[in-house]
Amino acid sequence: MRKSYFLILLCSISLSAFSQPYGNEWINYSQKYFKFPITKNGVYRIDYNTIMNAGIPIGNIDPRGIQLLGRGKEVPLYIQGEADSVFDNTDFIEFYAKRNDAWLDSLAYDTPNSLVNPYYSLFNDTAYYFLTWDTITNHSRMVVENDVATGLYSSQPYFFKEAISYHKDEYFHGVTNLFGSYDPEFSDAEGWATNSFGFNATRLEFLSTKNLYLAGPNALFKANVISSSDDVAFNGDNHLQVNCSQTHCYLILFLMVIKPCD
């Protein structure tokens, strides 16, 4: 009877493993991939000498077949001089790349919406990008605009700009049990935030909104606030209150009074 249970369990694990993707299906094992780290958002250029020094046989590669992959997607490229199918020593590759923020971290949480800081990764700020090539000549490319009549456009009175302020001062371990142990999974209120502040303390945060256009529509304000009070053994858990007015928001930490049991 015990053997029967064992066989059923093995079959179950086997079916489960084959039915799920591994996450590396994007790799074509007949191609070579050169990987490089990105730690800062921005526009990057890879020139002929850099490619040669990396050992990529660029003399044998049609630049139209060059492809860049990063953060789970193909990255649109601008390749100067690729139309002649030869990567000359004055040609180059340009692209926009982003470091690793918390774009994938929500998957580590029991509840994805519990992600505290979407701008700072729990693990690493380095994203690796992969350069490869094949014989296909219609990979993702930047659309080149040659519009010279910019004077015909009228200027806009305003535009929306995102101002972001985030902190990575202290790591909060999230929900604890009655014994103070942390959940092994990533849980509510777990992640990087400001230093903690206690009862009756005040915390001020300033967000720069340079060149504010007052005649425009209202701005949208969003804040992620976590509370990690675990003071129940002495005074009862603290509660956090967030208040916003037309001009500013403020946080209040107040004490929950525990009514003694009858």
Q: Which residues bind Ca ion (CB under 5 A)?
A: 81, 84, 86, 88, 91
Which CB, 67 or 117, lies closer to Ca ion? 67
Token representation of residue 193: 């935030």
Task: Report in angstroms how near the CB of residue 42 gets to Ca ion at its nearest.
Answer: 25
CA distance 189 to 253: 16
Pick the closer one to Ca ion by CB: 91 or 94: 91
Please, what is the minimum distance in Å from the beta carbon of residue 81 to Ca ion? 3
Q: What one-character-per-residue DSSP string does 127-156 give?
A: EEEEEEE-S-----BPPPP----GGGSPPP
DSSP codes, 173-196: E--B-TTSPBPSSB-TTEEEESPP
If the CB atoms of residues 58 and 115 are measured against Ca ion, the closer one turns out to be 58
Nearest approach, Cβ of residue 66 and Ca ion (Å): 12
CB 87 → Ca ion: shortest distance, Å? 6
- Identify the three-state secondary structure at position 238: strand
Q: How far is the CB of 44 from Ca ion (least distance, A)?
A: 19
Residue with nearest beta carbon to Ca ion: 81
Closer residue to Ca ion (CB): 62 or 183: 62
In contact, 30 and 92? CB cutoff 8 Å:
no
Q: Distance (Å, rounded) from C-alpha 141 to C-alpha 80?
A: 11
- Minimum CB distance to Ca ion smaller for 63 or for 70: 63
